[in-house]
Amino acid sequence: MLEQRLARLPGGSPTAGAIRYALNRGAGFQRFLEDGRVDMNSNTVERAIRPVVLSWKNALFASGDDGGRRTADLASLVEACKLNSVDPQRCLTDLLTRLADGWPNSRIDDANALVLGQRES
């Protein structure tokens, strides 16, 4: 039915644009109507990824050739803390204290796991 209406409208009209929008997203609309678990909007997901996206954009201006990688590693650690219900500041303080006290860089993943409570110390 929408295709028939679209054929009778001028291509640049606002109504034609709205119909094209609906037709292009028809599969998503149909899934939303059929599956009650599908959210009407993506606000929840967008809020969850906003800190990561902002961090990624800030990493574009990080100093040095590997500044972006370091920033991404730090963002990953902070998000892992949040997912594991660990205070990121406490985690980073503990991790940096361990490194300052001589924890070997080759065992940095072990230190992260200890802080996140995934392994015994």
48-53 long-range Cβ contacts below 8 angstroms, 24+ apart: 51/75, 51/78, 51/79, 52/79
- 119: Cβ contacts below 8 Å, ≥ 6 apart: 110, 113
Residue 79 tokens read as 């998000």
Residue 77 pLDDT: 80
pLDDT at residue 118 is higher than 60: no
Q: What is the rounded distance in angstroms from the CA atom of residue 77 to the CA atom of residue 36?
A: 34
Residue 120 pLDDT: 46
DSSP 51: H
Q: What is the rounded distance in angstroms from the CA atom of residue 1 to the CA atom of residue 17?
A: 15
Mean pLDDT score across all residues of the chain: 80
pTM: 0.43
Which residue's entry shows tokens 């009650």?
36
Per-residue pLDDT reduced to its tens digit, 63-74:
666 777 777 777
